[in-house]
Chain A
Amino acid sequence: NAGVMQNPRHLVRRRGQEARLRCSPMKGHSHVYWYRQLPEEGLKFMVYLQKENIIDESGMPKERFSAEFPKEGPSILRIQQVVRGDSAAYFCASSQWQPSTGELFFGEGSRLTVL
C-alpha cells in the first residue's frame, strides 16, 4: 500500500514564477492537509481539504496561495508569483478520518527553493 506521494521532491523557481506541488493521499484516505515547514521550525498548518471541498484554509496566506483536491487526481498546492520567503518544505498529510480520531500520514515533502 503506497504511502502519501508528493511531487516534485525538490523544486527550484525564480522570483515571480509559479510553483505547483502535488499530493496523492494514501489509498482510502479522503482528508488531505498541507503544512509548511521553514528550516529549524515547526509545521505550520495551511489548509485542510476533502474531495472537492476546502474545509479549513485558515492557515493559507490570503494572496498567491491556493489549494484544491479535485474529484479525480491529486491535491494541488499552487503558489503564484513566488518570493524568496516562500522557500520552505511543504508537507502533505492524509488521514482516513479527521485527525481527532487517528494519525496523520505524511508524505516525504516538496522542498521549494526560490532564487
Chain B
Amino acid sequence: GQQVMQIPQYQHVQEGEDFTTYCNSSTTLSNIQWYKQRPGGHPVFLIQLVKSGEVKKQKRLTFQFGEAKKNSSLHITATQTTDVGTYFCAGDYGGSQGNLIFGKGTKLSVKP
C-alpha cells in the first residue's frame, strides 16, 4: 500500500546546529505537505510542495521536493529552542479519496 517513510525518528541537536528530516515514498506523490506538532499540541501546517524539484524557504526552514516526486526534505538552519517538536511529512497520492498519508515524524529536541 501507499506508505511514507520518514527518518530519523529522533534528532537531538545543540542550539545553533542544523537539522534535516527526510521523507520517502515508494510511489510518485501528487504533492507533499509538512506539519509541525509541538509537545502536547496539534499538527500545524507548514508548507505544501507540488512541483518536481521545488524548493521553498520560510526563514530558517528550507523544504525540497525531489525531481521524481518521491522524496522530500526539511532543513532547519541554526536551530533554536522554539523549533522543538515533531515534524511530519504528509503525502498526497491524488485520486478521489483526498486523504493524506502521514510519515511517523521526526521528533526534534534542542539543547540550549
Contact = CB atoms under 8 A, between A and B. Distances in A.
A108 B42 contact: yes
B45 A103 contact: yes
B33 A103 contact: yes
| Contact residues on A (Cβ < 8 Å of other chain), bracket | 20 to 34
Contacts of A99: 33, 90, 92, 98-100
A42 B45 CA distance: 15
Contacts of A44: 102
Nearest to B89: A42
B66 interface: no
A104 interface: yes
Most buried by B among A40, A58, A59, A100: A100
Given A42-B103, A42-B104, A100 B42 contact: no
Interface residues of B, number: 26
A37 B96 CA distance: 24
A78 B88 CA distance: 26
Given A91-B42, A106-B42, A106-B43, A43 B102 contact: yes
Contacts of B104: 41-42
A33 interface: yes
Contacts, number: 67
B98 A48 contact: yes
Contact of A105 (B45, B100, B103, B107): B45
B107 to A, nearest CB: 8
Interface string B25-69: 000001101010000011111001000000000000000000000
Interface in B53-112: 88, 90, 92, 94, 96-105, 107
A56 interface: yes
Pick the 4 closest A-B CB pairs, nearest first: A98-B98, A103-B45, A42-B104, A56-B97
Interface of B: 6, 30-31, 33, 35, 41-45, 48, 88, 90, 92, 94, 96-105, 107
Interface of A: 31, 33, 35, 40-45, 48, 55-56, 58-59, 91, 93, 98-100, 102-109
